[in-house]
Structure 1
Amino acid sequence: MQAIDYCRQKADQSGSSFLAGFRFLPEKQHQAMTVLYAFCRELDDVVDDCSDAQVAQTTLNWWRMDLAKVFEGEMPEHPVNQALRGPVADFALPHDELAAIIDGMQMDLEQARYPDFEALKLYCHRVAGVVGCLIARILGFGNHQTLVYADKMGLALQLTNIIRDVGEDARRGRIYLPVDELQRFSVPAQSILSLKATPEFAALMAFQIERAKQIYREAVAALPPEDKRSQRVGLVMGSIYYALLQEIERDGGQNVLSYKIAIPGPRKKRIALKTWLFGFKP
C-alpha cells in the first residue's frame, strides 16, 4: 500500500464532518488535506487507544522524531509522515505548527482538567487552531490576517467537539469544561463523571454553546474579504459544525451526557453546497 492510500483509508474510516468539504478541492489540495487529517487522526488515536500512559508518551516521542525527518530530508518510517513530505514542500507547512499538534496530545496525557478558559484555549490552539492555520496554508491566502481567522475557527470547531463529546469524555474520566465555570454554575465534576443531567448542567451547557457561537461569528468576521473565496472549504467545515452546535442546542444541551449528536450525511452535503455557493453567516 502506498503512503497516500494509507492516508485515504484512515480518512475514509472516520466518517468525520471534517472531510465534508474536501470534495470541492483540486487534487493536490485534496490530497494534502487528506494527509493532514490522517496525521491528526493518528496522533489522536495514540492518546485515545493507549491505556498505558507511558506507552502513549513513548509513542508521541517517536512521532516527534519521525516528523522531524520530514524536514531533515530523511525518509520517515510512518506512511503518514512519508505522505506528508509532499504537502510540506508544496504548501510550505511549518514544522512548528505540525509539532504543536503533538504538544496538544501531550497535554491530554498530562492533565484531565483545565482550570479556566485561557488554559483550555491553549489546548484548543494546539490541537485545532494550528490545524486551522495549516488548512489555510493549503487553501492559500494573500492576507496574513487569514491565519487569525483560521486559528479562531479552529477554536470554534474544537469547542463544538468538546460540547458534543462531554458524555463520551466523561466515560474516559475527562472533563474539558473549565473548572472555574463548573464552579460558577454549581456543577460538581462528579455529577458529570456520573452522567447526571441537572438544571445546573443545562445552564452550563447553554453558556458553552453561546460562547462557541460567538467565536464562530468572530472567526468569520476576521476573514479578509480577498481570501473568502480561497478559504471556502474552511467555511464549509465551519458551517457544518455550527449546524451541529445548533442541533445540540435544540436537543436541550444536556443530552450530550447520554448520546452523541451528529449531522446526517445528506444534510452535511446540503450544508456544504449551500455554503460553497452563498458563504457562511453564523
Structure 2
Amino acid sequence: MARAGGENFPVAPLVLPRWARAHLMAVYGFARLADDIGDEVQGDRLALLAWLDEEIDRAWTGTPEHPVMRRLAVTVRQLRLSPEPFRQLVEANRRDQLVDRYETIDALMEYCALSANPVGRLVLEVLGAATPERLRWSDSVCTGLQVAEHLQDVSEDLERGRVYLPQEDLFWFGCSEEDFRSPPFGPEARALLGFEVQRARTLLDDGSPLVGSLGGRLRLGVAAFVAGGQAALDGVEQGLRSPSRAPGRPRRRRAARRLVRVLASSGRRTGQPSAVRVGAGRP
C-alpha cells in the first residue's frame, strides 16, 4: 500500500500469499517507475509521464517498450485488471509537477485518492478480495498512510518545495511554512501536527474493519500495514513531545506492539465474503 506502512513495518509484503507475489511485484514495479519519473529523473517529466500513459495503453492492447511494463502486461491480462488505477497513479505524479500546495483538506484528500488509494485497490483486485465495502475501507487506510508519510517528511518535503499540510490548517493554527523548515518547531507548529496526526489516526481507524474482513496471510499483511501507519504516527507524536526534535520514525518494537493491537481489535466480521486463502490462486 502506501509507503508509510511498508517502511515502518517492512515485513508486511512478505506475509502476503506467495502465489500472488509476482503479480504484486509487477504492480509495485509500475508504481516505482511512475514515482521515479515524477521525483527523480532529469528532463521533461511531463513528457515522460505522457509516455507512461501510452505504455499503459500498450500493456492492455499491444507490446509495451519498457521491461517493467512488459511484466505488468502479463499480470493485467491474466487477472483482467482495469487500467484506471494505473492511470490515477500517473495523474498523481503529473499533479506533483504542477501543484505544490493544497488549499483545503478536500483538495489534499483528492490528491491522496490518486496517489495512494489505487495501490490498495490493486492489491485487493490482484488477490481476488475486492468488494465495495473492502474497497472503501482500503481507501481510508491508504489515505491515512499517505497522510502519515507526509507528517513524517514535512521538513524534507518543504526542502523540495512541496507542502502537504493544507493551507487552511496553517492559517487556523497561525503557522507559516517556514515554521516547519527544521526543528525546534514552535508551539503552533506542534499543535498543527498533533491535529493532523489525529486526522490520520481517524482515517486508519475508519478503515481498520478491512483487517477483520480478511483471512490468512492477507489479514496479517494488511494488519501489518495498518500497524506500520499507527507506529509512524506514534513516532511523529513522540517527536512533538520533544520540541527540539523533528517528527520521528518508530522503532520496530513499537510497530510489533501495534500489530498485536490491530489484530486483537479486528476480530472477524460476520457476513463478509471469504478472503483468498494461503496457497489459493486467483480465478
Which bin holds the TM-score, normalised by the shorter protein?
0.7 to 0.9
What is the CA deviation profile of residues 103-123 of structure 1, one whole-angstrom value per residue up to 9, with x for unaligned ones? 111110111000100000011
- The 1:259/1:163 distance shift into structure 2, 3 A limit, reads closer
Q: TM-score, normalised by structure 1?
A: 0.82
Aligned partner of 1:127 in structure 2 is: 115
Q: Is residue 128–residue 158 contact of structure 1 (8 Å, CA) maintained in 2?
A: yes
When structure 1 is superposed on structure 2, of 166-175 and 243-252 the one drifting more is 243-252
- The 1:267/1:180 distance shift into structure 2, 3 A limit, reads closer
Aligned partner of 1:86 in structure 2 is: 74
Question: Between the two proteins, what is the percent identity of the paired residues?
Answer: 24
Q: Is residue 166–residue 175 contact of structure 1 (8 Å, CA) maintained in 2?
A: yes
Q: Is residue 24–residue 233 contact of structure 1 (8 Å, CA) maintained in 2?
A: yes
CA shift, 1:186, in A, is: 0.6
State the alpha-carbon separation in 2 of the partners of residues 167 and 135 from structure 1: 30
2:105 pairs with 1:117: yes
State the alpha-carbon separation in 2 of the partners of residues 196 and 251 from structure 1: 10
Aligned partner of 2:191 in structure 1 is: 203
Aligned partner of 2:240 in structure 1 is: 252
1:227 to 214, 217, 225: 214
What is the CA deviation profile of residues 111-140 of structure 1, one whole-angstrom value per residue up to 9, with x for unaligned ones? 100010000001101010111111111233
State the alpha-carbon separation in 2 of the partners of residues 250 and 152 from structure 1: 24
CA shift, 1:197, in A, is: 1.4
* Highest RCO, 1 vs 2 (Cα 8 Å, sep ≥ 6): 2
State the alpha-carbon separation in 2 of the partners of residues 155 and 62 from structure 1: 27
CA shift, 1:231, in A, is: 4.3
Q: Given residue 57 of structure 2, which amino acid in structure 1 is its aligned partner?
A: A
Structure 1 residue runs of 5 or longer lacking an equivalent are 1-10
- The 1:118/1:254 distance shift into structure 2, 3 A limit, reads farther
CA shift, 1:38, in A, is: 2.0
When structure 1 is superposed on structure 2, of 228-237 and 96-105 the one drifting more is 228-237
Q: For residues 9-88 of structure 1, what are the structure 2 equivalents within 5 Å?
A: 16-17=7-8, 20-50=11-41, 52=43, 55-72=44-61, 74-88=62-76
Q: How many residues align?
A: 262
What is the CA deviation profile of residues 10-50 of structure 1, one whole-angstrom value per residue up to 9, with x for unaligned ones? x9xxx834752222233331122222222112211212214
CA shift, 1:252, in A, is: 1.4
CA shift, 1:200, in A, is: 0.4
Aligned partner of 1:148 in structure 2 is: 136
Q: Is residue 216–residue 238 contact of structure 1 (8 Å, CA) maintained in 2?
A: yes
Aligned partner of 1:107 in structure 2 is: 95
CA shift, 1:215, in A, is: 0.8
Q: For residues 164-175 of structure 1, what are the structure 2 equivalents within 5 Å?
A: 164-175=152-163
Structure 2 residue runs of 5 or longer lacking an equivalent are 268-283
Q: Given residue 227 of structure 1, which amino acid in structure 2 is its aligned partner?
A: L
The alignment's C-alpha RMSD in Å is 2.9
- The 1:57/1:30 distance shift into structure 2, 3 A limit, reads same
Q: Which runs of 4 or more aligned residues in structure 1 lie more than 6 Å from their structure 2 counterparts after TM superposition?
A: 253-257
Q: TM-score, normalised by structure 2?
A: 0.81
State the alpha-carbon separation in 2 of the partners of residues 271 and 82 from structure 1: 40
- The 1:180/1:97 distance shift into structure 2, 3 A limit, reads same
CA shift, 1:91, in A, is: 3.2
